[in-house]
Amino acid sequence: MLKQTMLAVFALTIVAGIGIAAVQSQPDATLLAKAKAIHERVLTVDSHVDILGPAYATPALDPGKPTDLKCDLPKMKAGGLDAVFLAVFTSQRPEWNAPGYKAVYDEAIDRFDAIDRLRKMHPELCELARTPADVERIEKTGKRVILVGVENGYPMGDDVRNLGVFYDRGARYVTLVHGSHNQLADSSGPAEPKHNGLSELGKKAVAEMNRLGIIVDTSHASAKAFWDAIAMSKAPIMASHSGCTALARSDRNLDDEQLKALAKNGGVIQIVALGSYLKEDSPERAAAVRKLREELGFGGRGARRPAAGGGGQPPAQVTPEQQADRQKIRAVMQERMKEIDAKFPPATLKEFADHIDHAVKVAGIEHVGVGTDFDGGGGVPGFNDHSEALNVTVELLRRGYNEDQIRKIWGGNLMRVWREVNRVAGK
């Protein structure tokens, strides 16, 4: 889940939803056949997808059927994607106190329940994996593999034992912090640090994650919190959905020194498919988008909320009239964004693959993977949902990657990290 307002998610969803026809030519048939064959043979994992909280995995929003979500089980199957980490994402309260922790802890448990509903609704289509061996076993059955990550350590509160509760519910990574500082770590978002990296509690949390066998995820963490996590963790760490600063300056991305440190640590960067982290907006594009938003009444931050969308946010209560109004605005926005995109092209599959290339060049082929942030703002023309996962492989083949390298990028590296984290935990 990206850190900006839900409005930004709304806008990005619209931008990303425009489709690939204008930007991406059809992959050539030979490469596509080759990519399909590779997906048959290798394990493919996406390390970061958001879910829509209370409505997720109910008859109203059933990911076992084709939906508007970027990740549902039919799309995963169509794209040859085997496994996905669904994010138990929670936003947080401004106060770091017991009532805030309790309220958000309860929200996190609701998200775990939603993921449980999915596997219970479709036991013939998917299964929850708790170990790397589970992943391999489930993949062989042809079912989709469901994995769980917790995005934002806030719901842990001030008690590291809650990490054990999350682990028991299936969580195998925890993203320490999100768009604001929390009690564990400084976020990459705010300019001023609060803890100057990890707090004492954050350091305890890292130690507890090492003990339990939970991967420490530093996406959204400040640079200093990243360096603290690298220094503290006895096991490899990961950035579950980040890009490379060298190609796009963003507080969410890792610079080359961080990439090298991640390699030394044995960890992995999972390249995000969120356009604004892959390609910096030109001032002209930013101005055009700003103007359009103002015109459509998206004045203040969070002035409007999406009727539905990523980020695991509860849907707002809206009247049918408001719903119709939003749909109208959405349609206008979509049309006008097409014009802006034609003038100032946004990031596409090409930039996504450029970030993979760069991370491979700097950190090495053993330390790069894929973490889309689908349904949390992620998705670019050419790789806009899981049904298009084969396009990524086609692009990698085009760029000269061989099957072994593609296997590493599409999940081999992440599985190695997980196994190493388990080994350190004595599991």
Interface contacts to Zn ion, rule CB under 5 A: 1
Closest approach of Zn ion to the CB of residue 413, in Å: 20
When the beta carbons of 1 and 269 are compared against Zn ion, the nearer one is 1
When the beta carbons of 1 and 365 are compared against Zn ion, the nearer one is 1
Q: Which of 115, 111, 141 is nearest to 128 (CA)?
A: 115
Closest approach of Zn ion to the CB of residue 180, in Å: 12
When the beta carbons of 1 and 16 are compared against Zn ion, the nearer one is 1
> Is residue 130 within 8 Å of residue 181, measured between CB atoms?
no
Determine the residue type at 342.
A
Q: Who contacts 279 (Cβ-Cβ below 8 Å, separation ≥6)?
A: 247, 248, 346, 347, 351
> Is residue 367 within 8 Å of residue 267, measured between CB atoms?
yes
Closest approach of Zn ion to the CB of residue 107, in Å: 16
Closest approach of Zn ion to the CB of residue 1, in Å: 4
Helix axes 6-16, 283-295, angle to 10 degrees: 110
When the beta carbons of 24 and 90 are compared against Zn ion, the nearer one is 90
Q: At 303, which helix (H) or strand (E)?
A: none
When the beta carbons of 236 and 243 are compared against Zn ion, the nearer one is 243
Closest approach of Zn ion to the CB of residue 237, in Å: 16
Q: Give the residue nearest to Zn ion (CB).
A: 1
User: How far is Cα 283 from Cα 275, in angstroms, rounded to an integer?
Assistant: 15
User: How far is Cα 125 from Cα 116, in angstroms, rounded to an integer?
Assistant: 13
Cα dihedral 18, 23, 27, 32 sign: negative
When the beta carbons of 206 and 239 are compared against Zn ion, the nearer one is 239
Closest approach of Zn ion to the CB of residue 322, in Å: 28
Closest approach of Zn ion to the CB of residue 49, in Å: 10
Closest approach of Zn ion to the CB of residue 188, in Å: 10
When the beta carbons of 1 and 417 are compared against Zn ion, the nearer one is 1
Cα dihedral 33, 38, 44, 46 sign: negative
DSSP string spanning 190-254?
SSS-SSSSB-HHHHHHHHHHHHHT-EEE-TTB-HHHHHHHHHH-SS--EEEEE-BTTTS--TTSB
When the beta carbons of 4 and 67 are compared against Zn ion, the nearer one is 4
DSSP string spanning 87-150?
EEE----SS-SHHHHHHHHHHHHHHHHHHHHHHHH-TTTEEE-SSHHHHHHHHHHTPEEEEEEE
End-to-end Cα distance, the chain: 30
